[in-house]
Chains A and B, each alone.
Chain A
Amino acid sequence: MVMQYELKTMYKFEVEDLNAWFGSKQVLKNIRMKIRDRKVTAIIGPSGCGKTTLLRCLNRMHETTPNARVSGKVFFNGINIYDEDVDPVQIRRKMGMIFQKPNPFPMMSIYDNVAIGLRLNGVKDRKKLDSIVERCLRMVGLWEEVKDELNASGVSLSGGQQQRLCIARALAVEPEVILMDEPTSALDPISAAKIEMLIRNLAKDYTVVIVTHNMQQAARVSDYTAFLYLGELVEYGPTKQIFEKPRNELTEKYITGSFG
């Protein structure tokens, strides 16, 4: 019982022997890692190392790509999300996902962009929607900027604002986890800094997993860092340790910029 309790509180995800393929190409090999609750975990590594795939395996998005395949187990709150009787739709509702490029829905207003997740869940009460939309936009620091144009299209905003809108959209369904796939790579430095601050704030209430190719970003925002190379988890530990005293030679080479 005690063990189980600890497991529940400390770890949000437990990944066991996770393998993933695109067609016949194996992109993830026997990944085992535990991701802590209410911490920011960064996944770093050179291009093509499988970091995005690992992230997408956590909410069963990987399998939505044609020819993609997964084996292994991912425990989320102690439940294997790859179990046969688990509905991926229900799993995804508990996790928000932010993509490389902001992808608000252009035919929807700013308001509807945030409210859509709730509407998918069947929330129709206007007052409830209003209050959640406002709260989520405040959380991402967008409320003051857009409160007078909530009916404008989601793509009328700047790139950085759009990305924060996407984060608000993900937050609206009250997920337990936020998965971010290089969320600042398409943004200017100032917008990126805003998002990084936001990530630190989110870690108070949410488990954040962030894929980044920017090592400074990983060092700035994350509590734990995983280094992936050619589909294998090379090293995983507290960010401070990974960046200051990496145990693996490969990790050291990567973070000192010798390759990648």
Chain B
Amino acid sequence: MALKKYYFHKILNGEFKGDDMFKLVSNFFALSILLITGLMVYELVKGSWLSIQRFGPWFIVGTVWDPVFTQTFSTLPLILGTLTTSLIALAIGVPISIGVGLLLSEYAPKRFAWLVSFLVELLAAIPSVIYGLWGIFILIPFLRHNAYPFIQSALGFLPLFSGPIYGGGVLTAGIVLAIMIIPIVSSVSRDVFTAVPRSQREAVISLGATKWETCKIVMSYARSGIIGAIILGLGRAIGETMAVTMVIGNKFKILPSSLFDAWYTMAAIIANEFTEATYDLYVSALIEVGLVLLMVSLIVNILARLLIWRMMKFVRGVVQE
């Protein structure tokens, strides 16, 4: 109300200038973000209300997905599937991305760095369905015939790497996701490494540090930025739908027998089953899966924020350039 009065007063007195207009417009845009998010949550809750009423909290902890006979739905395996594939993606993709970032900011000559950055960012522009197709026709045959048997012969004594090899599965989904998050994670980490002041590098070089030790200082300075980059990658991996659906095998089970086994993720089940959902409760359950997916992303993001916040609390002073 106060805001309205303020502008009203200004307009009356002919003092409403371009500056006020700009403030008003940017306030509106800022608020629209909240509005859209709020609306999204509202719609998701509304759409999944039937399922929420029917299953309650059990929806999150239960392990049954049976649309045909008992018409019961719950999502724990899907949550685990989403988190597992995303974590595999991070485990593979983040070290590569940080390596690429370091190469681009610390080692590569300018022109070469420019070329590599361009190519890496090009990867980000490839539609995910293309990654999925590439996964099916190129990656899966290669993994099934070459890579996986080799891994199994070396690490087969671990339950994680035993069991039949289909080609598609949890690990395959993780690998495809890893490739998909490399562009964003590596370009953001290149940016945060480049932003590390030269004075920090000089400080450690003058102490007689080798190139690798200098890189370690650069990484420690950019720690919070790297976490930011990882979170962006994780966000992409958690929400990725098409490519995962095409390679993970889409089997609803509590736990896969190994990393080579098929599984399911939240995003994949929505994409796969939405067209088959023939009755209201089924549709509602799928929408609730979407709601849970949103919540999981939210929780992951909040945890990351807390981590960065805790890290920055340590650095109280102003960093001198």
Binding site for B on A (CB under 8 A): 59, 61, 64, 89-97, 99, 101-108, 116-117, 120-121, 152-153, 155-157, 159, 162, 166, 169-170, 173, 179, 186
Contacts and interface: CB of A to CB of B under 8 A. Distances in A.
A152 B316 contact: yes
A interface: dominant SS: mixed
Contact of A155 (B202, B209, B316): B316
B44 interface: no
A166 B311 CA distance: 22
Interface string B269-285: 00000000000000000
Contacts of A94: 208
Interface stretch (B73-81, B215-223, B297-305): B215-223
Given A105-B217, A155-B315, A117 B207 contact: yes
Nearest to B207: A117
12 contacts: A64-B205, A89-B210, A92-B206, A97-B206, A99-B199, A99-B202, A99-B203, A105-B220, A106-B315, A120-B204, A120-B209, A173-B208
Contact of A116 (B207, B223, B317): B207
B2 interface: no
B307 to A, nearest CB: 14
Contacts, number: 93
Contacts of A104: 203
B318 interface: yes
B314 A90 contact: no
Contact of B208 (A64, A120, A186): A120
Contact of A90 (B208, B223, B320): B208
A106 B221 contact: yes
A96 B203 CA distance: 9
B213 interface: yes
A111 to B, nearest CB: 13
B12 interface: no
A155 B318 contact: yes
A107 B317 contact: no
A101 B319 contact: no
Query: Which among A92, A106, A117, A121 has the highest number of chain B CB atoms within 10 Å?
Result: A106
Given A90-B208, A105-B204, A105-B221, 4 more contacts: A59-B206, A64-B205, A89-B208, A156-B317
A181 B69 CA distance: 79
A117 B320 contact: no
B320 A102 contact: yes
A115 B208 CA distance: 13
Nearest to A161: B317
Interface in B186-245: 197, 199-210, 213, 217, 220-221, 223
Interface of B: 197, 199-210, 213, 217, 220-221, 223, 311, 314-321
A186 to B, nearest CB: 8
Given A61-B202, A155-B319, A162-B320, A107 B314 contact: yes
A157 B206 contact: no
Given A101-B199, A155-B318, A162-B320, A92 B207 contact: yes
A155 B204 contact: no
Nearest to A61: B206
Given A99-B203, A153-B316, A108 B213 contact: no
A120 B315 contact: no
B317 A153 contact: yes
Contacts of A162: 317, 320
A103 to B, nearest CB: 4
B202 A103 contact: yes
Given A92-B208, A103-B203, A120 B316 contact: no
B205 A92 contact: yes
Contact of B207 (A101, A108, A120, A155): A120
A94 B208 CA distance: 8
A101 B321 contact: yes
A105 B206 contact: no
A59 B319 CA distance: 26
Nearest to A169: B207
A96 B202 CA distance: 11
Contacts of A92: 205-208
B207 A173 contact: yes
Contact of B320 (A120, A121, A155, A169): A155
A89 B209 contact: yes
Contacts of B207: 92-93, 96, 116-117, 120, 169-170, 173
Across the A-B interface, give the 10 residue pairs with the lowest CB-CB distance, nearest first. Answer: A93-B208, A155-B317, A97-B206, A103-B199, A92-B208, A117-B207, A103-B203, A156-B316, A107-B220, A156-B317
A192 to B, nearest CB: 16
A170 B209 CA distance: 12
A94 B207 CA distance: 8
Nearest to A154: B317
